[in-house]
Amino acid sequence: MVLTSLCYGRPSFEKAGLSSSKPDGEISIDDPRAEDVRALLQRHLAFARSQSPPEDTHALEVDGLVDPAITFFSFRVRGELFGVAALKMLDAGHAEVKSMHTAEAARGRGIGRALLDHVIGVARDRGFRRLSLETGSMAGFAPARSLYASAGFEPCGPFGGYRPSPNSTFMTLPLMGG
């Protein structure tokens, strides 16, 4: 089946014949340099830059995601990209969620939840004891903060190389059995 997209290469959930209630796709390790992934990451960066001052925009460029400490995942339906997320190892017991983004046309369909649950599961499987993240504190990031809180993430202080900022919200999730 050939999938159709909205203008500017944005995927269309409905036009792909997908259910609006449950995401029916595949999450796998992917290359952030792939053309469609790069395009989605550019939209992710553009959004982050539109919401946060440059010194508080912590979204990684494509080249920053090509790192042995980072595992990059995509959510695809019949080959079409609808979302991305990454897991970055900070140290032997601590990892970070990076670059979570769902294509605009597919938001509210459970793709972000599926990706987040997958990243949490991989972090547990790899033995991490804690999974943290940084997201914006502005209104545009409220859906992301809500998603993270619903998965059990709680506010925390800055971690890794981050500094305190009114533009950042830091969250962490203890991983039992890790």
pLDDT band at 44 (very low <50, low <70, confident <90, very high): confident
> What is the distance between the alpha carbons of residues 92 and 6, in angstroms, rounded to a whole number?
42
Structure confidence at residue 46 (pLDDT): 86
The whole-number average pLDDT for the span 43-51 is 81
Number of H helices, E strands in the chain: 4, 7
What amino acid is encoded at 76 in this protein? R
Whether 105 and 16 have beta carbons less than 8 Å apart is answered as no
Query: Does the pLDDT at position 2 exceed 70?
Result: no
How would residue 166 be classed by pLDDT, with cut points 50, 70 and 90?
Answer: very high
Question: Do 178 and 127 meet the contact criterion of CB atoms below 8 Å apart?
Answer: yes
Domains of the chain (ranges plus CATH)? 23-174 (3.40.630.30)
Q: Which residues pair with 68 in a beta bridge?
A: none
pTM here is 0.85
Asked whether residue 18 carries a pLDDT value surpassing 80, the answer given is: no
Which pLDDT does position 19 carry in this prediction?
53
Alpha-helix residue ranges (DSSP H) falling in 21-176:
35-51, 62-65, 111-125, 142-150
Tens digits of per-residue pLDDT, 136-148?
999 989 999 999 9
Which amino acid is it at 2? V
Reported residue count of the chain is 178
- The mean pLDDT value for 161-175 works out to 96
Alpha-helical runs (H) found in the chain:
35-51, 62-65, 111-125, 142-150
User: Is residue 124 within 8 Å of 93, Cβ to Cβ?
Assistant: no
* Alpha carbon distance 33, 108 (integer Å): 26
Looking at residues 16-25, what average pLDDT do you find? Answer: 63
Structure tokens at 44: 């992710």
What's 34's DSSP letter?
Answer: S
